[in-house]
Amino acid sequence: MGTDGENERSESSERTSGEDQPFPGVPESDSDDGDKDVIVPETTGHAPRSRAVTDNAREGAIQPAADGASGHSDGAGGSCSPNTCTCGEKTQEKTVATDGAGVANVDEMGELGDLEFTDPAEGISQDVDNGSPDERVGVPDGVDLETPEYSIRSEMNDIETPDEKTWFMELDEAVIDDGRCIQCGTCVAACPSDSIGVGDDGLPELVKMCTGCSLCWDFCPRGGMRYERQWKITGGDDNVKGAGDPITEFSARVDEDWTEGAQDGGVVTTVLSHLLEAGEIDGALIATESDEEAWKAESYLATSHEDLIENAGTIYNQTLALGNLDLEQWEHKLPDKPFDELSLALVGTPCEIEGIRALQDFEWDYQAQNEGIRAVDYTIALMCTKNFNYYSLMGEQLEDQRGISPDEIGKMDVLHGKLMVYDHDGEMILDEDIENFHDAALKGCDECADFTGFCADLTVGSVGSSDEYSSVIVRTEQGMKAWEITEPDLDYHDLEDKSAVGKLQGWDKKKAFESLERPFDPDAPRFIDYTDHAENYGTELNPHDYGH
């Protein structure tokens, strides 16, 4: 250690004393007259340390005295400080380099100037549990951090929206914001990037960036999908006449104790139960009542007879059923086998069945919903003239205007043009024309001509049968299979009043023809371009450019 250490210290001392001391950062000159080409900045004891000096310090090199006196010698034992020269050698000021950008916040003497910092927010943080995810906290006064509207596209390099792309924003403009959404959930299921979710108001909303793939628009029964064309694609040329082209029709019921809580004859519940027992399906996507809000419908996967009985009956609001086909959501209830080997039944309104049929017609990847869409092997449609917004029906119409709390209600039914409400003891507490509740109905239902579920395997409802019986329309071979599995445990006979079903289907079509702003044409292309829809409905062609 001794020899090597002494040599290092000796060489270091020579480098840090006398006239030969190099200046940090000064390049060596290749010219013959040496220093003439180099302008040396004046050094002071306050100059910032160079990286070279710092690195030497790490290696234990000898540093100048603490007072910074590293000037030249006068030859008589004295020395000159950087600011005072007594030997006469310093006869003129060194030229200071002024070219270049200089050092930020440092003056010509190397002194650090005054700096201003924004104090960090104290005691403020985003509420990740209850706060809005886009809420900004601790924003300084006078600072605007709001995201510009999408219309800024039109101000940037003349960017135009490609004609072939349709974005969620078009669906939002033409259907959701316009109050025409029927809450079927088809747009959620169709999105290949899982960019569409469900908002607190029960309506679809964008939850991450839209890719402009157009699928949410194309498959929306109130947007780009010509639903009457889907009837024909699913059931053939005759499936657009009257109440469609059924295989057979029955009035049926189940004579068991549990049917007291069921709707009409309890047929839907018993068909699903038999399909489960026979191993035809692993589960059925149905509606259940919310634990938090009485008579608010939510999607539920029933996987047992007990599940089905507990949730028998009808709830008159939508669940966005097709937006709940992500099988990971139900993995805890499903058997332990690959998702692509699962089989499901779907119970829904006619518009929901139209949506699933259209989605299944294309081998596209629907991301999180994909396996669920492919797993649906049985579809049961509930006869439907209209559905309701939960908050409008239960809150405004029943509770606020008629004094009936949702907690008081044991059963609801829509029959013979009446809305009937019963308490938990089975006593009727309301019997009123359904037209009185028109303001609570979903506006988009007026455009629907599909009362009897033209695209379903089975259609079930009350019209055409006496009390305690359900009307059953078998439309497909798959529906016939479900009927044959269930038939031994049913009390049934031929449909009692076919004309009643046909008349109500005719009334529903007439109402739809009056409400539709586009032509009703089963032979036209299945998908309607947004530009054509905008022309018929008067919506903005490019809502992006109008601050939507």
For the chain, 548 residues long, give each residue's pLDDT as a single digit of tens.
444 444 444 444 444 444 455 544 445 555 455 444 555 455 444 444 444 444 444 444 444 444 444 444 444 455 555 455 555 554 444 444 445 555 566 777 777 777 666 676 666 666 666 766 667 777 777 777 665 555 555 555 555 555 568 999 999 999 999 999 999 999 999 999 999 999 888 899 999 999 999 999 999 999 999 999 999 999 999 999 988 999 999 999 998 766 665 667 789 999 999 999 999 999 999 999 999 999 999 999 999 999 999 998 888 899 999 999 999 999 999 999 999 999 999 999 999 999 999 999 999 999 999 999 999 999 999 999 989 999 999 999 999 999 999 999 998 888 778 899 999 998 999 999 998 998 999 999 999 999 999 999 999 999 999 988 999 999 999 999 999 999 999 999 999 999 999 999 999 999 999 999 999 999 999 999 999 999 999 998 877 665 55
Query: Which residue in the block uniquely carries the two structure tokens 């996967």?
Result: 301
Instruction: Output the pLDDT for position 165.
Output: 80
Instruction: Output the pLDDT for position 124.
Output: 65
Q: Is residue 261 part of a domain?
A: yes
Q: Is residue 153 part of a domain?
A: no
Residues paired with 346 in a beta bridge:
285, 379
Q: Is residue 250 part of a domain?
A: yes
The whole domain housing 302 covers: 234-517
Where does 70-187 show beta strands of DSSP type E?
A: none
Q: Is residue 54 part of a domain?
A: no
Instruction: Output the pLDDT for position 144.
Output: 72
- In three-state secondary structure terms, 505 is helix
> 493-499 long-range contacts, Cβ below 8 Å, gap at least 24?
493/250, 493/251, 493/252, 494/249, 494/250, 494/251, 495/249, 495/250, 495/251, 495/464, 495/465, 495/471, 496/251, 496/464, 496/465, 496/466, 496/469, 496/471, 497/464, 497/465, 498/249, 498/464
Instruction: Output the pLDDT for position 149.
Output: 57
Instruction: Output the pLDDT for position 191.
Output: 97
Instruction: Output the pLDDT for position 96.
Output: 46
Q: Is residue 548 part of a domain?
A: no
Q: Is residue 177 part of a domain?
A: no
What does residue 379 show for φ and ψ, rounded to 5 degrees?
Answer: -125, 135
Could you read off the pLDDT of 262-283 as tens digits, one per residue?
Answer: 667 789 999 999 999 999 999 9
What does residue 420 show for φ and ψ, rounded to 5 degrees?
Answer: -115, 135
Query: DSSP assignment, residue 394?
Result: I
Q: Is residue 471 part of a domain?
A: yes
Instruction: Output the pLDDT for position 290.
Output: 93
Instruction: Output the pLDDT for position 107.
Output: 74
> 292-297 long-range contacts, Cβ below 8 Å, gap at least 24?
293/390, 293/406, 294/394, 294/405, 294/406, 294/407, 294/409, 295/390, 295/394, 295/406, 295/409, 295/412, 296/390, 296/394, 297/390
β-pair type (470-474, 491-494): unpaired
Instruction: Output the pLDDT for position 505.
Output: 95
Domain count, the chain: 1
Q: Is residue 486 part of a domain?
A: yes
Is residue 224 within 8 A of residue 539, CB to CB? The reply is no
